[in-house]
Copies of this chain bind each other. A is one copy, B any other.
Amino acid sequence: MSAKPAFTRAEPDARRLSLIEACARVLARDGVAGVSVRAIALEAGVSPGLVGHYFAGVDALVAETYAHVEAQVSAAIDAALALAGPDPRARLDAYVTASFRPPVASGELLATWIAFWSLVRSRPDIARQHDEQYAFFRARLAGLLGDCGVPQAQLRYAAITLTALIDGLWLELCLSPQAFSAAEAIEIAQAALDTVISKGR
């Protein structure tokens, strides 16, 4: 008679991933306040002790969850870029459009971002992770802008400007979706693109 196994032994990487995904779900459902070792273990269908076996603490797990979710966001944007083809301006438009549609713009994602932001000020390692992430955001956008003819000397300002604008629109859109629509956010961001690109010519 074969009894059901008491647990299944997973590949370490797979188990880490399942815990990270469980953390993302808890953040999406209950926000920062709902995150705890036990809640995450319960969500992952795993005993509480296992969380400590893979992560130094909740903070570290949140930081890795942010990195994982951010990688998904980047993948979604890269997919949109690939779909847009080679035309530089079409690629920028695709970047903007993808930024304000699911899965990038969503209240569930916002919870992960906020949880991560709340750690930046007190944890130097997480501050560094944040800096690297946003430097990457700006660098990717600067590349797209350069392809559209924005001169090198203006790339830094242009990238900071558009990253901040998109970030601000994204944040307010996720926090209160009824203040303005995703379509309006796209329209606004593309108008800003027009200005930045035409100025550079």
Contact = CB atoms under 8 A, between A and B. Distances in A.
B184 A31 contact: no
B171 A135 contact: no
B157 A164 contact: no
A133 B122 CA distance: 27
Interface in A157-185: 157, 160-161, 163-169, 171-172, 175-176, 178-180, 184
Given A166-B168, A168-B167, A160 B180 contact: yes
Interface stretch (A13-21, A39-47, A110-118): A110-118
Contact of A168 (B115, B122, B165): B165
A163 B168 contact: yes
A118 B32 contact: yes
Nearest to A123: B31
A117 B120 contact: no
A161 B176 contact: no
A125 interface: no
- Among A30, A165, A187, A192, find the residue whose CB has the most chain B CB atoms closer than 10 A: A165
A25 B187 CA distance: 40
Nearest to A166: B168
Nearest to A165: B165
Given A110-B121, A130-B176, A164-B168, 14 more contacts: A30-B122, A31-B122, A114-B117, A114-B118, A131-B179, A134-B176, A157-B184, A161-B191, A163-B168, A163-B172, A165-B168, A167-B168, A168-B171, A171-B171
